[in-house]
């Protein structure tokens, strides 16, 4: 089997155990909670329940991506060991990390001309990005070369669907994504926006639904509409949530009932501290394979 490293950023929002078990390496983003900076290390330093509790109590968050120097330091040991690299980044539609990884790869190709470094813009986020990584690990374990894996990722990454809803708009107000007036009225009327990620890897509002029950039903309707083979979908399905497990479980129950041919049960993960710094508590995201995403 070809000797190469499959790698991503911690913003793929799976567990450390999942990444370790699939032999997927990762580099950590950074975030600040209050006045202190931490690595986005999959909840190892600060557990997710504590992180979201402190957000609810009013502590401010900020995030920072991995810079060029950090990527150089991270990639170098693999190259020194004679390994090629396939690294998949958080969507360029919401972060500049793809540019940092690409710049680092350019510098290192000059120093290690015999090695191959492939950088993929996932155009995805959270555990949807993680679902892409899980599939790439399957293909690697099946014997696919690094070059072919890179091409497969580029050809299929837009088949990975990302649908999100939020039941608390105050963090969207805090981040400047909606006005204070819209946030106040939305929360008063229990409006839950339904968003997805488009072909540029950007989050796009698609619907405004009144009430949690309606948005839970609609997000599963969107899966039926877009999933490969509709209700006969036989791939994996991941969900991530930010301190609202019961809502995520309600979506998972509906998915498992409507799609009886799923590859295993729906897997539920936590929205990590980088993505969660912007969404706040109350977000559920649903991920599955389907037809190509569009604008």
Residues of the chain predicted below pLDDT 70 = 1, 169-189
* Chain segment 118-132, per-residue pLDDT in tens: 999 999 999 999 999
SS3 27: strand
Q: Exposed, middle or buried by CB within 10 Å (0-12, 13-18, 19+), for 3?
A: exposed
Distance (Å, rounded) from C-alpha 20 to C-alpha 28? Answer: 14
Q: Give the pLDDT score at 175.
A: 53
Rg (CA), the chain: 19
Q: Give the pLDDT score at 23.
A: 98
- The answer to whether the CB of 163 falls within 8 A of the CB of 238 is no
Q: Give the pLDDT score at 171.
A: 64
What residues have CB less than 8 Å from 280, skipping those under 6 apart?
Answer: 52, 55, 56, 166, 168, 170, 171, 172, 174, 242
Q: Give the pLDDT score at 190.
A: 73
Distance (Å, rounded) from C-alpha 158 to C-alpha 61? Answer: 30
* Chain segment 135-176, per-residue pLDDT in tens: 999 999 999 999 999 999 999 999 999 999 998 766 665 655
Instruction: Please report where in the chains the tokens 């501290």 appear, as a residue.
Output: 273
- The answer to whether the CB of 247 falls within 8 A of the CB of 209 is no
Q: Give the pLDDT score at 138.
A: 98
For the chain, the helix, strand and coil percentages under 3-state DSSP, each to the nearest 5 = 45, 25, 30
- What is the residue-wise DSSP string for 74-120? HHHHHHHTT-EEEEEESPTTT-SHHHHHHHHHHHHHHH-TTS-EEEE
Q: Give the pLDDT score at 181.
A: 42
What residues have CB less than 8 Å from 205, skipping those under 6 apart?
Answer: 193, 194, 195
Q: Give the pLDDT score at 167.
A: 86
Q: Give the pLDDT score at 174.
A: 60
* Residue 37: count of CB within 10 angstroms of its CB: 12
């Amino acid at each position: 089997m070809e000797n190469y490293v499959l790698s991503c950023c911690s913003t793929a929002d799976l567990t450390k155990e999942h990444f370790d078990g699939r032999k997927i390496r990762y580099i950590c983003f950074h975030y600040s909670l209050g006045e202190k900076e931490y690595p986005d290390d999959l909840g190892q330093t600060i557990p997710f329940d504590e992180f979201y509790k402190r957000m609810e109590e009013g502590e401010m968050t900020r995030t920072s991506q991995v810079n060029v120097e950090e990527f150089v330091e991270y990639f170098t040991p693999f190259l020194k060991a004679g390994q090629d690299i396939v690294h998949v980044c958080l969507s360029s539609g919401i972060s500049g990390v793809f540019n940092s990884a690409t710049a680092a790869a350019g510098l290192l190709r000059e120093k290690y001309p015999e090695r191959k470094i492939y950088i993929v813009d996932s155009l995805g986020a959270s555990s949807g990005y993680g679902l892409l990584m899980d599939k790439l690990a399957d293909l690697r374990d099946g014997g696919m070369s690094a070059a072919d894996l890179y091409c497969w990722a580029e050809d299929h990454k837009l088949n990975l669907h990302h649908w999100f809803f939020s039941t608390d708009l105050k963090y969207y107000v805090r981040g400047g994504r909606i006005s204070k007036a819209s946030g106040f009225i939305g929360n008063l009327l229990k409006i839950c926006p339904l968003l997805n990620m488009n072909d540029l890897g950007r989050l796009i509002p698609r619907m405004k639904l009144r009430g949690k029950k309606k948005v839970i039903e609609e997000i599963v309707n969107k899966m039926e509409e877009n999933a490969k083979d509709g209700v006969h979908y036989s791939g994996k399905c991941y969900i991530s949530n930010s301190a609202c497990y019961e809502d995520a479980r309600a979506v998972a129950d509906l998915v498992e009932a409507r799609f009886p041919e799923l590859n295993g049960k729906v897997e539920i993960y936590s929205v990590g501290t980088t993505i969660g710094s912007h969404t706040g508590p109350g977000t559920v995201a649903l991920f599955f394979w389907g037809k190509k995403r569009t604008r």
